[in-house]
Amino acid sequence: MNEPIVIAIDGTSASGKSTNAKLVAQALGYVYVDTGAMYRTLAWYCLQKKADVHDAKAVTALLRKWKTRLECVDGRARLLVDGYHPEREIRTAEVSAAVPHVAAIQKVRQWLVKRQRECVQFGNLVMEGRDIGSNVFPETEFKFYLDASLEERTKRRAAEGIQENLAARDRRDSQRATAPLMIPLGAMVINNSRMTSEQTSGLIISEVRKRLAGRK
């Protein structure tokens, strides 16, 4: 039996990872995995339990206790906590502020990388994040790295009603000690500053189909 195909879509904040990963997954009939949502779920859980997200020991202690499982619904893999999927709760400004601190903890990344790798149980995947091609599935031949100018990405965030210091976020993501944001070896880099989501996802889909055809 063939191993599931994993398409890794990494990139900076507001580079269109989520939108394009969903479009690619839909076009190819693959399962969509938002790894950022998994980090957000832990950050939300820490806030719920009044744990200090700046305290690595406190966060790690919660990680050992919480009861989670993966499920796939409507072509999307997601992480449930105590049987519940906090879909809206993880998108608040409070959770957004907590996520970078939680994501920088080495044991958190180790735990979540294991869960993310387990998503292959659902079949072929389109997985988006910041370290998929470099850390979670470095062996995949389908690696894409999305970026756009800081000005364009700031405009996109503002259009979503979010004010975020993206330059500071980029620095934090790329300078963290564990699994920093980087262009994975062998990744196709796409700067979509002047591209629509349809153009960006179309480029990825075309490249994936070309490589799959080359396998035959």
CA 206 to chain centre: 22
* pLDDT value for 174: 81
Cβ-Cβ contacts under 8 Å for 182 (sequence gap 6 or more): 131, 134, 174
Across the range 188-206, mean pLDDT stands at 96
Per-residue pLDDT band for 88 (boundaries 50, 70, 90) equals very high
- Nearest of 37, 6, 1, 2 to residue 125 by alpha carbon: 6
**pLDDT tens across 29-85, in order?**
999 999 999 999 999 999 999 999 999 999 999 999 999 999 999 999 999 999 999
The residue count for the chain: 216
Residue 172 near residue 37 (C-beta atoms within 8 A): no
- Which residues are paired to 76 by β-bridges? 32, 73
Per-residue pLDDT band for 181 (boundaries 50, 70, 90) equals confident
Question: Are residues 151 and 169 located together in one domain of the fold?
Answer: yes
* pLDDT value for 22: 97
Range of the domain at 54: 35-121
CATH number of the domain enclosing 62: 3.40.50.300
Residue 4 near residue 120 (C-beta atoms within 8 A): yes
* pLDDT value for 54: 96
End of a domain among 121, 137, 164? 121
* pLDDT value for 2: 78
Which amino acid type is present at position 134? S
* pLDDT value for 145: 96
Question: Are residues 26 and 50 located together in one domain of the fold?
Answer: no
How far apart (Å, rounded) are the C-alpha atoms in residues 73 and 107?
28
End of a domain among 106, 121, 136? 121
Question: Are residues 24 and 60 located together in one domain of the fold?
Answer: no
Question: Are residues 127 and 205 located together in one domain of the fold?
Answer: yes
Whether the pLDDT of residue 1 is over 60: the answer is: no
Question: Are residues 50 and 109 located together in one domain of the fold?
Answer: yes
End of a domain among 69, 101, 121? 121
